[in-house]
Structure 1
Amino acid sequence: MNDVLDFDLDDLSPVDDASEEEMETFWAGDLTVLSRHHTTPNGSHSFVLAHDRSVTWGIPGEPQLVAIAVARDLRQATFTFETSHHATASFAQNWLAERGCPLDRIALRGGDYIEPADDLTVQVEQQIQKSGTRYEVLDTYTSDYDPSEAWTLVRDSHAAQAPVRLFYEEWNHDAGTYTMRESAFADVGVAQTWLDERSGPLLEPPEYSDHNGAVVRARIARIALARSAGASATPQTGLDAPRTTAAAPVQRPVQGRLL
């Protein structure tokens, strides 16, 4: 499989300064492609989710996942080029979905991908992926080693109570699984105190216990039914994700969700 990122832009010009600047600073050699989708038949759009290996040698805590969206205007011979860095795959997928990429085309499930540990993890991820512009990202952090975690701190425009939300992802290397949890705080200061001290368990959002809690539980039940029926193991279409064989093991980036 060819993992080289070639967006076929040689005969096109950037439509604006922002696209030109993105192209000038973009370096595909540092990326491990996790999933990609190209529209057909004319190939006017490309969407990529990748792990940026260079970040692991940079400033500690920086987000390691990069989402890339390319739109080509073949009649005008121009293109737009956008990139966005994220701490977790679900926020990167949300960003790509907002630019027109179907979520099922950039899913990270099956094969060599590390799996969600439980149905609540799947529910929280789907909530993020389909949230549109609901969440304003305030801060992120990624740690490859002890603890192996990534979190995204946001302001939830839909929250009537405790509008500052923490989406916390943690990996279990031995089990080959990860969990994602949502926690709610009154303000950024309280959230930061919890992150600094870790003095207690994460606090569930208020809606988990009010009348909306029934909706949350119903969604988790549907996810559990689908997973037990083998839906999560269904081969994905439209993906071009890395694969390994027993004869040729390859080191996989944990943050990129690969074993």
Structure 2
Amino acid sequence: MNDSLGSAFDFGLGEFTPADAASEEAVERFRPGDLTALAQHHSTPNSFVVAHDRSATWGIPGAPQVVAIAVARDLSRSTFTLETSYHATVPFAQNWLVERGCPPERIVLRGNDYLKPADDLTLQVEQQIRESGTRYEVLDTHTSDLGPCEAWTLVHDSSAGQAPVRVFHEEWDYDAGSYTMREGAFADMGAARSWLDERSGPLPEPPEYSDHNGAVIRARIARIALARSVGAATPQAGSDASRTPPPGPAQRPGQGRLR
């Protein structure tokens, strides 16, 4: 074990050395005491983790609090690379890990301690982000633990024929123990910024929700609803999540958000 990574994040790197200066610097910056693992998948030769960084709560206002961690080991050289990337919401962190080779189903949050998706549309939007590849260019993010309790990610959608600037807005209801994720569409950055600043109306629905792609979206939501009804989201025996559900995100504002 590499002591600098801490026992809570034992990636089994005791016999390995950093492969490059960036990985060495990442290890030096790594502060496992500030992190709570939300989902993780370990294999040979890779490890993938989604974690909440509680130190971000007390840092720059609005800073992202979810960190994705990817470790790749070179067994023949006994070296490793370690990368981290910060995100406002879990699905974007998952997307970053999936792009680095993590199976999507292995990095899904499971367990009874998390805030629950409020509806099937939330699950559909999260799946869309998680499986989007390089479709979204992140332009800005913001996280708020107090009034309102929310996080948003502003992106450019390279696949959008209309309204290519998108806002993915996540809002938490701690009393209900649930959260929603919604996608809004805007013609340009100015319109998106105006909505975020003023909240003068509902989040504008993407045009594809009402065109021929709307049938695809509704079909996906129906499949999600069916899967939930038959318990398809139950962790499989032997999976990382079913063995040790990580600490949950249902903390109150001001105590650190873990969703």
Q: Please give the TM-score of this superposition, normalised by the length of structure 2.
A: 0.91
Give, in angstroms, the shift of residue 111 of structure 1. Answer: 1.6
Residue matched to 2:206: 205
Q: 1:18 aligns with which of 18, 22, 34?
A: 22
- Going from structure 1 to structure 2, the CA distance change for 1:22 and 1:205 (only over 3 Å counts) comes to same
Q: Could you tell me which residue of structure 1 aligns to residue 126 of structure 2? A: 125
2:32 counterpart of 1:28: yes
Task: Report if the CA contact (8 A) 1:67-1:85 is conserved.
Answer: yes
- The reply on whether 1:238 has 2:240 as its aligned counterpart is yes
Q: Which amino acid aligns with 2:165?
A: V
CA deviation digits over 1:183-207, x for unaligned, max 9? 0001111101100000011000000
**Contact 2:110–2:245 under 8 Å retained in 1:** no
Q: Does 1:5 align with 2:13?
A: no
Q: CA deviation at 1:114?
A: 1.1
Count the aligned residue pairs.
248
- Distance between the aligned counterparts of 2:141 and 2:32, measured in 1? 23
Shift of 1:154: 0.4
Task: Check the 8 A contact 2:37/2:247 in 1, yes or no.
Answer: no
Q: CA deviation at 1:26?
A: 1.2
Paired position in structure 1 for 2:193? 192
Unaligned runs of 5+ in 2: 1-5
CA contact (8 A) 1:36 1:241 kept: no
Q: CA deviation at 1:10?
A: 3.0
Q: Aligned letter for 1:55?
A: A
- For residue 87 of structure 2, what is the aligned residue in structure 1? 86
Structure 1 runs, 4 residues or longer, greater than 6 Å off: none
Change (3 A) 1:227 1:3: farther
TM-score (norm: length of structure 1):
0.91
Q: What's 1:48 paired with?
A: 49
Q: Is the CA contact 1:3–1:33 (under 8 Å) kept in the aligned structure 2?
A: no
Shift of 1:235: 5.0
Q: 1:247: which partner in 2?
A: none
Pick aligned residue for 2:42 from 38, 41, 47:
38
Deviation digits for residues 56-104 of structure 1 (CA, Å, limit 9, x no counterpart): 0101100000000000112101111100000000000000111111111
* Matches of 1:159 and 1:3, distance apart in 2: 44
Identity among equivalent positions (%) equals 67
Residue type of the alignment partner of 2:22: A
**Which segment is superposed worse, 178-187 or 104-113?**
104-113
1:9-62 CA-partner distances (Å, limit 9, x unpaired): 2322211221111111111111011111111xxx31111110001000101100
Does residue 220 of structure 1 match 2:215? no
Range 15-24 or range 134-143, more displaced = 15-24
Distance in 2 separating the partners of 1:4 and 1:100: 23
TM-aligned CA deviation for residue 255 of structure 1: 3.1
Q: How does 1:145-156 map to 2 (within 5 A)?
A: 145-156=146-157
Q: Gapped runs of 5+ residues in structure 1? A: 245-249
